[in-house]
Structure 1
């Protein structure tokens, strides 16, 4: 009985020591967690806060960017003093258009489409710029150039003389003249080449009797001009 009692007391002491060690380890672990974990947690929270702030700044910056409108294409030149300028931009937004520096304003619809009707051009080259406008700020411009030309191209036949008569072996004749350098030229509905300086020539074999020619020049704006020319031939 005495031996058993001693044995029980010894086991109890060992258990108490283990319990004390366990409690100490738990306390040390809790202290370490607070000393290491809390600063780390604080850093994580601060980092997330900065990320959220940076994201907000980025989104705000993206929202503040204004992209220029996209203008529908126009011809290089026109013979009309008034045209329509249209395009697409942000929906339900203000669009400012400047023609040779003179501004007017319109609104895009719920699809972002806009249109300026009755845009008046000055003779010669015209510069058109369009801006998106929001909260007093403007985008960079979208630009186009268009030429307004109302006068038709001139045609001059330099040689031979209009109405001249040819005889015998002089059946093949070269007609030479000049017109605008960028005009399209035809004679009796057959196109002929116009040189960069506006000169042209046309070789033709004359028929017996009267030979009639109609020269027609059309410029880049669509203006056209016709000249009638006549030569005679006798074998």
Structure 2
């Protein structure tokens, strides 16, 4: 190895040593910065995140918006069934407070806001309303008063003309008119044909008699579903 080559090698070794020393020094400085500045900074960052989370919780807990009033659906206005289920919906998780004929009940709506109450009706009108209270304590407006009429009495039904067992003769008497009276709000059928009922409860039905016996079945049905049935037989001879 000549002198030039030897000097070159020595020079490269010195450069590599300086690089190694510089790398070690930078590493030490980096660890020092991380130790003295990095850890407190991490702590401050953690505190900041916790503070933001706390603020978010405060915002969430300051809910002042009332839930929507409960909405009831598909309940009967008139019924002859004493037990009725009331279905409805409101805000999910809200408490629904029902007042039924002055008696309070409450239930928690499910995850989709659905709720139901089972109630026992008294004869006549049964009035109910409800409010909803959300998880923050906000209260909805009260619903309007709803009414269910419980009625188990069958409707009055009278056939005023002709009388049962009447006989008719000849072509001039072949067509007859049945007349009767029932509740004004009831519906009437004669042999399954719907007959119009007047405001005073009277009704008429005109039919043509066949030879021999003709049976007419009259049914009156009120709004609650109660029915009264009467039949009469009319005889016709050509």
Q: Same fold judged by TM-score > 0.5?
A: yes
For 1:197-217, what per-residue CA distance to the aligned partner results, in whole angstroms no more than 9, with x for missing partners?
A: 110011111122111110011
Q: Aligned to 2:217, which of 195, 214, 219?
A: 214
Distance across 2 between alignment mates of 1:96 and 1:65: 14
Q: Are residue 233 (structure 1) and residue 201 (structure 2) matched?
A: no
Query: SS where residue 63 of structure 1 aligns?
Result: coil
Aligned residues: 177
Cα deviation for residue 138 of structure 1 reads 3.9
Q: Which residue of 2 aligns with 1:189?
A: 192
Q: Which residue of 1 aligns with 2:157?
A: 155
Contact 1:95 1:107 in 2 (8 A): yes
Contact 2:66 2:139 in 1 (8 A): no
- Equivalent positions of 1:5-20 (< 5 A) are none
TM-score when normalising by structure 2 = 0.68
Q: CA RMSD in A?
A: 2.2
Contact 1:121 1:148 in 2 (8 A): yes
Distance across 1 between alignment mates of 2:218 and 2:87: 37
For 1:169-209, what per-residue CA distance to the aligned partner results, in whole angstroms no more than 9, with x for missing partners?
A: 22211111011112121111111111111100111111221
TM-score when normalising by structure 1 = 0.69
Distance across 2 between alignment mates of 1:172 and 1:109: 62
- Equivalent positions of 1:47-126 (< 5 A) are 63-117=64-118, 119-126=119-126
Contact 1:71 1:142 in 2 (8 A): no
Q: Are residue 166 (structure 1) and residue 168 (structure 2) matched?
A: yes
Cα deviation for residue 76 of structure 1 reads 2.2
Distance across 2 between alignment mates of 1:64 and 1:73: 28
Structure 2 unaligned blocks of 5 or more: 1-57
